[in-house]
Amino acid sequence: DTLVKLLKEHPALLGWDIKNEPDLDFDSRGKNKVLAWLEEMIFQVSKWDREHPVTIGWSSPQAAELLADKVHFISFHYYDKPNRFEKAYLSLKEKAGNTPVLLSEFGISSYSGFWNAFSGSEHDQKGYYIEMSNILKRQELPFMFWTLYDFKKVPNEVVGRYPWRRQPQKYYGCVTVEGLEKPSFKVLDQTLVK
């Protein structure tokens, strides 16, 4: 309760995201244990702060169906192909009923090195955002993207020690580590935020 009480009056607080991608902990911690913990945290945070909404940042639209009736808005991430998004989103939206839905993370890496079979590019990243922007506009779905800046370093504690996971994570940004705008930045600036 200390953290909630300390931050609940902050003017920049939108709401409480109980845990980032908790469904990725199901194998190591047990699905029932994770869900029980999330439910208890939703209850406790809502008790300590009655003003701000509470959500969970699920790793996929399918996982976001879990505990959908316990949160103030449903939050999910999407890192699959754009042509699969709309079907997955519409299924979630149908199950959500009147609960608002937010796409709280989406994006694609522009990494084109050995650990990505030299298949990524800034051009592909731009194309991804063009496709997704068309869908998001059509569905009138509020969103946040991942992420504004590339990273110089991604710690092992974040994605593990394997370079095929770590290297692509460095290049999800729409601005390079040198501060240069990638083509995807212009798409986001011109298409998604206006």
What DSSP element (H or E) covers 17? strand 16-20
What's the predicted TM-score (pTM) here? 0.93
Q: What is the pLDDT of residue 117?
A: 74
Q: What is the pLDDT of residue 194?
A: 59
Residue 166 has pLDDT above 70, yes or no: yes
- Average per-residue pLDDT in the chain? 95
Q: What is the pLDDT of residue 70?
A: 98
d(CA 69, CA 54): 12
Residue 192 has pLDDT above 80, yes or no: no
Share of the chain above pLDDT 90, in %: 89
Position with higher pLDDT, 79 vs 192? 79
Share of the chain above pLDDT 70, in %: 98
